[in-house]
Structure 1
Amino acid sequence: MLKMSAAMSLADIDNDIFLQRINASITRVRFALQSYDNFKQFVRIELDSAVKEIEENSNKLNFDLTEDQLTLILLANIKNKDMGIEAYHENNQRGHCDITIKLKDYIWHGEAKKHTSSYSYLFKGYAQLTERYSTGTVNSASGGLIIYTRNRKCNEMMTNWKAHLDKSAPRIHACKSITITPCQKNPLVFYSQHVHTVTQLNYEVIHYPVNLYHEPVDPDL
């Protein structure tokens, strides 16, 4: 809480609030640097905020934008070089990975796909993420599949994708199995875990829809 004195001006108060925000950002980064699990929490919160920004502007963002264009918009809401947060598109990581988020030694990879009807196309992105781009090391133990969609029945779409993944993923992983768990924060999101083929360490993937559906009943809206 701000401690105000009679001599403080509104400009002084605004400056104090600005500095408090900077200090809060530094505190968040310090938290993320303490462990990979903390970094993973940090990425999730940043991802939530970036997705929210896109979905709230779905009336201005055309689904005809390419995957690359949508991903660049997503990353623009995450990247903060001044705080040491790097967010790359198609950075070379055992290939050209759609999304790479780095904070010092910690890395999070993501693949982004537009979904219209084919779940096999989504699975291609999942396979690229888990079996090509990810190293599966202790400092790179998680990633995400970002699904751009304009499906009016997003929950049904994610349920179908979950079933497709559960059936198809075991055949590409050396461990021959996968575990799927719901997200407690967002019922449209879920997690999958498997033993990474290269490191034999647990690897987690968040499956996150970004819904660009916008067809208001009133055509003038």
Structure 2
Amino acid sequence: MTPSTDSLAYLRLHAAGTHMETGIDFLFAQDHGARVNAVQRSVDFACNRLIRHRDLKQADSENSLSVQVCDMLTSSGIKATHDAAVGGHCDILVEGKDDFLWLAEAKKHNDYSWLDKGFQQLSTRYSTGVPGQDHGEVLIYCKVKDAKAMLNKWREELVVRNPEVNTSDGPCTDLLFFLSNHKHESSGLDFKVRHKVVSLHWEPKDN
């Protein structure tokens, strides 16, 4: 190993399991798939931080929560922009090497029509669907009980409202996200979306 690779290995070893590891992986990723993986893991860290402090997030708006996610991604080394102009005003945008572009549309869960609007914005307004720009996310801020049940219902609604969409489980069926895939209207290529629910319900019963 060269001194530079020794230093990188040392850095990754000490950053393992932290949000900084995702930034390192994004920076040194050699392909788009590795960049998508790093961004999704960084989003997971950011959302877990929101959930941990959900008692302080009850009055936060969609925009406020999304800005916080962007800030946490940027602190990991993945520069994220809120309200970026890309076919409209996208909630979360990440750019990278080789024309990499990853987009997320965030919605507070009010009803399933509102979530479908976010999916349509992501799929038909903001995204290009070309190689390296063919992944996105619908991020759902959920303050109702049983986020998993809400996500399952959204998965059903998504297919009913968009029959061309196929869905699948993530690596573990108990995780609070699922995946969807459909042909992008502009590029004609597969467009892949992760639908992630952020469980912000907080109703303590000790009073």
Q: How does 1:177-188 map to 2 (within 5 A)?
A: 177-185=164-172, 186-188=174-176
Rg: which structure is higher?
1
Moved over 3 A (4+): 16-27
1:65 aligns with 2:60: yes
Question: 2: CA distance between counterparts of 1:38 and 1:74?
Answer: 20
1:129 aligns with 2:129: no
State TM-score, norm by structure 2. Answer: 0.85
8 Å CA contact 1:146–1:209 kept in 2: the answer is: yes
Question: What is the alpha-carbon distance in structure 2 between the residues aligned to residue 19 and residue 191 of structure 1?
Answer: 30
**1:94 deviation in Å?**
0.9
Q: Give per-residue Cα distances to partners, 1:100-143, cap 9 Å, x unaligned.
A: 01223311001000013x10010001001001100001011100
Distance across 2 between alignment mates of 1:25 and 1:97: 22
Q: Is the 8 A contact 2:23 2:42 kept in 1?
A: no
Number of aligned positions between the proteins: 193
Q: Decide whether the 8 Å contact of 1:31 with 1:38 is kept in 2.
A: no
SS of alignment partner, residue 87 of structure 2: coil
Q: CA deviation at 1:72?
A: 0.6
Deviation at residue 26 of structure 1 after TM alignment: 7.0
The SS at the match of 1:79 is helix
Residue matched to 1:28: 25
Q: Which residue number in structure 2 is paired with residue 7 of structure 1?
A: none
**What does residue 214 of structure 1 align with?**
202
Q: Distance in 2 between matches of 1:80 and 1:106?
A: 19
Q: In the alignment, does 2:184 pair up with 1:196?
A: yes
Q: Partner amino acid for 1:65? A: D
* Contact 1:142 1:205 (8 Å CA) reproduced: yes
Q: Can you give the 5+ residue segments of structure 2 that lack an aligned partner in the other structure?
A: 1-9
Name the % identity.
30
Does the C-alpha gap of structure 1 residues 166 and 26 become closer, same or farther in structure 2, counting only changes over 3 Å?
A: closer
Tell me if structure 2 keeps the 8 A contact 1:100–1:110: yes
